[in-house]
Amino acid sequence: METSRRLFLRAAAAVSGAIAAACRGGAPQPQPQPSLLGAPVSRYGERAPFEKAARLLSQTTTPEEASSRTPLGEIEGMITPSSLHFERHHAGVPTLDPREHELVIHGLVERPLAFKVSDLRRLPSVSRIYFIECSGNSGPAWLGVASPSAQALHGLTSCSEWTGVPLSVLFEEAGIAPGGEWFVAEGADACRLSRSIPIAKAWDDALVVYAQNGEALRPEQGYPLRLLLPGWEGNANVKWLRRIKVVSEPYMTRDETSKYTDLMPDGRARQFTFLIEAKSTITRPSGGQTLGGPGFYEISGLAWSGLGRIARVEVSTDGGATWAEATLQEPVLPKAHTRFTCPWRWDGREAVLAARCTDETGYVQPTRAQLVAEHGINAAYHYNGIQGWRVQPDGTVVDAVL
């Protein structure tokens, strides 16, 4: 692939030449249109009627235990609009009155505490940009099953600005008693979803959040309170948070025994595999999109890692035979989506696009073959292999299943 500057200049020159030719040929000039009054101000903003990005709903016989996926191929930048953040529920979305809802902290603490939402809002707050990814994201790739789009395959990840109180502040106020090594977080949904979390995560960067992207949490994102564990699998980020119990060891709840464990080839299952490892995907061009013909295109995508910042992204247009370094758009933040871009001139022949990332610890995104060799094909969760899109001669883009 040619350098970014050279390709950009060539593309710009081609556009300029076309404009000049049109002018020389006496192209018709646009006629002035009458000025009409636009729509009045509104109480809550809406998208333009021409924009159709929407979440893809999972097919399930139990709508309350379902998911929706972020349209990764149709969003820009690193922040996911709150209305397009993916969902995953196990018993539907509860309706909770923030005036009545309480967060209780008890167990191995010196001072059991109960906080109203208004109490938490009085405490010093922080705002941080972090991704959340469901551990089941990209699951079909374990079996080498093709997916129609980036949304269908990778759409269980989103990135937002979260505002709330560090959990460490609440624990300092409660006082952790000797033996308190874990805590159990419980939601107020009908299934009382619960997860056991090492208490070290609370002292590191865990948050109790009440706002997302500058406004109150959406109901499907845990309104009025949720736990936020940066870089860890989505299910552990308990929504509709109502109770935190400090304990000496994990409680082996349903959601960390019957689910959210990684089945290995020998029949044993890995448990408490919280961390989301480095991963990337090209979102444009990607499955379901169509290129308008040979010429210049900017390849764009997202990379993220639960271990910290993305240090490097490489892009291939020949299925991994050769790689070129992509440009990382600022800001590059720890445990957040990072947008990358790479210039490409398509010659009209079949091409296989792929991306691989490296995070600041030196971890390199693996191939599917490497993952399968280590974990088999029944792991179901935590798939982060390199994935490709095949651009066909007619411009249509499909999953390459590398």
- Percent of the chain whose pLDDT exceeds 70: 92
The string of pLDDT tens digits covering residues 64-102 is: 999 999 999 999 999 999 999 999 999 999 999 999 999
Q: What are phi and psi of 293, to 5 degrees?
A: 130, 170
Closest CA to 262 of 93, 138, 377, 123: 377
Residue the block writes with tokens 């974990």: 375
Mean pLDDT calculated for residue range 297-308: 98
Closest CA to 208 of 192, 191, 185: 185
Its pTM stands at 0.92
How does DSSP classify residue 239? B
Cα–Cα distances (Å) from 11 to 17, 18, 106, 114, in that order, read 10, 11, 62, 61
CA 389 to chain centre: 19
pLDDT of amino acid 159 = 98
Domain boundaries, the chain: 65-270, 279-399
pLDDT of amino acid 34 = 74
pLDDT of amino acid 27 = 58
CATH assignment of 279-399, given 3.40.50.1100, 2.60.40.650, 3.40.50.10800, 1.10.3720.10?
2.60.40.650
Mean predicted lDDT score pLDDT of the chain: 93
Q: Taking the CB of residue 101, how many other CB atoms lie within 10 A of it?
A: 18
pLDDT of amino acid 391 = 98
Q: Is the pLDDT of residue 28 over 90?
A: no
Q: Is the pLDDT of residue 8 over 90?
A: no
The string of pLDDT tens digits covering residues 202-249 is: 999 999 999 999 999 999 999 999 999 999 999 999 999 999 999 999
Report how far residue 276's alpha carbon sits from residue 234's, in angstroms, rounded to the nearest whole number. 9
pLDDT of amino acid 19 = 40
Mean pLDDT calculated for residue range 38-50: 92
Write the class of the CATH domain 65-270.
Answer: alpha beta
Q: What angle do CA 126, 127, 131 make, to 5 degrees?
A: 130
3-state secondary structure of 279: strand
Mean pLDDT calculated for residue range 184-203: 98
**Residues 6 or more apart from 267 whose CB is under 8 A from it?**
none
Q: Taking the CB of residue 280, how many other CB atoms lie within 10 A of it?
A: 28
How does DSSP classify residue 6? H
The string of pLDDT tens digits covering residues 106-157 is: 999 999 999 999 999 999 999 999 999 999 999 999 999 999 999 999 999 9
Sheet holding 67-69, edge to edge: 56-57, 67-69, 87-88
pLDDT of amino acid 31 = 72
Report how far residue 139's alpha carbon sits from residue 208's, in angstroms, rounded to the nearest whole number. 29
Mean pLDDT calculated for residue range 295-319: 98
Residue 235 — left, alpha, or beta (φ > 0 → left; ψ -120 to 50 → alpha)?
alpha
Report how far residue 274's alpha carbon sits from residue 381's, in angstroms, rounded to the nearest whole number. 11
- Percent of the chain whose pLDDT exceeds 90: 88
Range name among 259-273, 293-307, 333-347 with the lowest pLDDT average: 259-273
Question: Given pLDDT bands bounded at 50, 70 and 90, which one contains residue 60?
Answer: confident
Mean pLDDT calculated for residue range 361-366: 98
Q: Which amino acid is at 297?
A: Y
Where are the strands (E) in 17-135, listed by range? Answer: 56-57, 67-69, 87-88, 102-107, 113-116, 126-133
Question: Given pLDDT bands bounded at 50, 70 and 90, which one contains residue 20?
Answer: very low
The string of pLDDT tens digits covering residues 379-398 is: 999 999 999 999 999 999 99
Mean pLDDT calculated for residue range 288-311: 98
